[in-house]
Copies of this chain bind each other. A is one copy, B any other.
């Protein structure tokens, strides 16, 4: 099938998706749009996209992927839906879903749009970090599928399944509430762990010598993009505050148990938290 596939935001996620789309639809044109000159030129040089374009050109699109930070999706999406033709399928890959679904809920072309969140990514960003296979065996959550035209939905599902993604469905409220705990909180805990240790260890040499793979693993997410994550924290503010409140409360209680020498209770608590092993096995 010869199609016009637009990728708005040609970074790690958009770039990796573009690579998979080229494999699935080798005769199609992959067209990139990005506000960063640097990113779009890089993506073109790397052959990830065939052509650079801009938003005013998208009315001939068969498929449009919107993979920019959440706040930009909210800004751009109504404008994108204004321009699409009746057969266009517009997919977003935003990390939150409530405000995105909300901003276009009454748009006349609402049914051309599918709200999704692929649980894929790394702590790196930009088109040079893009690679094939990023989406294989990863979950993708689709929200409000009944608001998308059935034939558009089927095209999207076919694409996701060809990329070996595991599809599940959720309403946007539940998505944002749960993702705050299993993703956004991890990022905040990692950023603040990095900050705490760097504040204390002015003399870096001590960190180099003493930090092992455990530290590296827990602060890995502190390498993530500040722009993207600030956007997410703002957009999912209420859920994130609640998850942070819970986390802080747990840290205060274990700190109090340590202060009060209640180590038997600590051991019991760590033992029951070890159950995470079983849960993590389910992720792999």
Give A residues with C-beta under 8 Å from B. 119-123, 138-139, 141, 166, 168, 174-175, 178-179, 181-183, 185-201, 204, 206-224, 226-227, 229-230, 233-234, 237, 240-241, 243-248, 250-252, 254-255, 258-259, 261, 263, 266-277, 279-280, 282-284
Contacts and interface: CB of A to CB of B under 8 A. Distances in A.
B194 A273 contact: yes
Identical copies in the complex: 2
A186 B212 CA distance: 10
Given A194-B276, A234-B263, A283-B216, A181 B208 contact: no
A13 to B, nearest CB: 12
Contacts of A224: 270
Contact of A211 (B119, B191, B212, B275): B119
A120 to B, nearest CB: 7
Nearest to A242: B200
A201 B222 contact: no
A200 B273 contact: no
Contact of A138 (B194, B212, B234, B268): B212
Contacts of A190: 218
Given A196-B243, A198-B276, A199-B246, 12 more contacts: A121-B213, A175-B210, A182-B212, A190-B218, A192-B250, A194-B276, A200-B246, A204-B282, A218-B221, A219-B280, A230-B270, A241-B259
